[in-house]
Structures are given as C-alpha cells and as structure tokens.
Amino acid sequence: MIRRSNFITLAALALTLFGCSKAAPPAEQKPAPAEAAPIKLTGAGATFPYPLYSKLMDEYRKVKPDVQINYQSIGSGGGIRQVIAGTVDFGATDAPMNDEEEKKAPHKLFHLPMTIGAVVVVYNVPELTAPLKLTSEILVDIYLGKITKWNDARLGKINEGAKLPASDIRVIARSDGSGTTAVFTDYLGVVSPEWKEKVGVGKSVKWPTGLGAKGNEGVAGQVRTTPGAIGYVELAYAKQTGLSMAALKVPSGDFVSPSVEGVSAAAEGVELPDSLHASLVNSAAPKAYPISSYSYLLVYEDTPDKAKAQSLSEFLWWAIHDGQKFAPALHYAPLPARVVAKLETRLKELKSGGKALLTAP
C-alpha cells in the first residue's frame, strides 16, 4: 500500500512537470525569424547594351544577393516610354531623350553613360573572302536605294580584286524604335545632307528601301539567313553571330574595321558636357571607329522608394567602377577615367525624399 505522504509527493511532482512543459515548449517548435525580402529592381530599353547589362546584373548578384535586377531588352524607344510612365525603376537608351520626351517625364531624369559600343555594318555575301570596304557615300546610297547590286561599279572600285556577285543587295533595318537606329542615322545624317533632308535622324525613320526586323537580335538573324543582305547591329551581336563586318572609310582616308580600341578612340576625341550625353559619330580622332556611341541609363534624380533608390544608386556606383572590367570581353569599351569622374559627381546627386543616397568619396 502506498503511503499517503508518498502519494501527495508524487502528485505534486507530476503537476510541477506538467506545468513546466506547458510553460516552455521545446526550442525546435519556435518559429524561425522571417528573412528580409529581396530588393527587386526592374529596367527596360536598349538592345544595344543588353549583353553587357545582363553580365553586370549577374555579377552584381554575387556581390549583393539580396538585390535582384531584371532588365528587358525592348529597344530604346520602349525604355524611354516605360521610365516616363513609371512602370520601371530605370530606362535605357542609346539615343539621348529629346526635349519633347524630357517634358513628358514627371520629374528630372539623369542620363548616365554606362558603356560605349559600336554600330557595325554587317553583310551576308558568301563570295567575298576579304572584308567589304564601304565609304559613307556608298553606304548612304545603299540605304537610299540608289545602289541595288553587289557588283555596282562604285563598290568594285574600292574593293579591287574582290568577287562581287551580280545579285541584289537586300537592305535590312530596324522596325522598332531603336537607339541603334538613332546612332546609325546620326552617322548617315552627318556625312550626307541628302540623307538628313530626305530621311532624317532618329530612333524611328521611314526607310526608303528594305525589310524591317525587331531588335539587334532580329537584324542579326535576318542578315544571317538572307543571302545578299546588309544591315546594322551593335558590335557584340555581330561577334556573337559570326557575321562579316565592313570596314568604313574615315575622315583621314583610312578604312577602319570595328573594334573596342576604335570605339575607345572615338570617345577620347569628344568632350562630354554637363548633360553627360554626346554624339561620337564620325570622330576625327586617329583610329576612331566612325559609328560609335555611348549607351545610357535613365534614372530619376529623386526616387520616393528609399530602399529601391539606395540599391539602384549602389549598383550604379559598382557598375561604373568594378563593372567596367567586364566590358572588353563582350566587345564594349570601358568608360574613360574622366567620364567616370563626372559620373561620380552625378551619382552623388541621386536622392530619395530630397536626401542624398551616396556618401562614397
């Protein structure tokens, strides 16, 4: 028989244990602290710099895993429209915004040059074994529809000894609003008053002849699959697709083939004004490639969302410094040191709610 005193002791002990277990649940049952949500930034615009921007954003994710940047390659015209509408955190364009576009923006937008590239003339003429040579006058007349055959006497004269076929020249141009088109037509307009008067310069023009294709990817694909075709794309797309590229006659009288070095030479020959945008076409600098261009990100001076604004400003600072080392391998030219210095000053002007975001030296 259990003694009464022992029974009372056991009962008290059981109640104590039950009370303790109720008050302190096992540690493994405690909910884990919630992780901070990643910062998501979206951008859209130019196809010209897309190969580089894609690389930069992938590399930056290794530096800042909590910042996710998504960029849609839709053309400069689309990038300008979307950043004005506020549907993206930043836009991208190869052609600076015009006065009308800037007036539509609800707040002040900065043009930030991120890289420098080349618009190259590509062609599909299997009979040619040496690089095609073109003068600006001949290129203009091809796109005006005045030169229609590959064996035209003017082409034969500057490509002496080349086997030029009697086939038609099939002109390919961009069908969408394009910064690449703006750069290409800027060059044609500079070298030809007739082009500037009859066709004009801009992201979208009424082409006198030829077929249209969307994006640098579309033009490259169309040229690659169309015998006798000629078109214009950014240098990286020509390299990636293995397309033949023409050498262009420059003001010195030399024929210059597209290269990162030629693009850098064009930028060195032009002083960047306070607006941070300038044309680089037909530069007189020695060895400069004549259809070179900056490519810009469009960013609002003051952004209400501080977390997004801070993350974007830090990415931009990284891109103009550490990010530039990725440019040459993708056939873009790194920004000159004097341009980086001007960008540093401009980036320190970025704000959220009127307060500066960057405190870097």
Of 1.10.443.10, 2.40.50.660, 3.40.190.10, 3.20.20.70, the CATH number of 39-115+294-356 is: 3.40.190.10
Query: What pLDDT sits at residue 37?
Result: 82
Task: Say whether 118-268 and 39-115+294-356 share the same fold.
Answer: yes
Q: Going by CATH, does the domain composed of 118-268 fall within 3.40.190.10?
A: yes
Give the closest residue to 14 by CA, choosing from 25, 6, 24, 26.
6
Query: What pLDDT sits at residue 29?
Result: 54
Query: What pLDDT sits at residue 31?
Result: 55
Q: Write the CB contacts of 332 (distance below 8 Å, at least 6 apart in sequence).
A: 49, 52, 115, 116, 117, 235, 236, 260, 263
Backbone torsions φ then ψ of 187, nearest 5 degrees: -65, -50
Residue 320 · residue 340 · CB < 8 Å: yes
DSSP H helices, the chain, are 4-23, 50-63, 76-85, 99-104, 136-144, 153-158, 179-191, 193-198, 215-225, 235-241, 260-268, 306-320, 337-347
Q: How far is CA 348 from CA 322, 326, 340, 351, in A?
A: 17, 24, 12, 8
233 beta partners = 120
Q: Domain boundaries in the chain?
A: 39-115+294-356, 118-268
Query: What pLDDT sits at residue 7?
Result: 39
Query: What pLDDT sits at residue 360?
Result: 53
Kindly give the parts of the chain with pLDDT less than 50: 1-27
| Strand 90-93 versus strand 292-300 pairing type | antiparallel
Query: What pLDDT sits at residue 125?
Result: 97
Global pTM exceeds 0.75? yes
Query: What pLDDT sits at residue 261?
Result: 97
> Residue for token digits 């930069």?
56
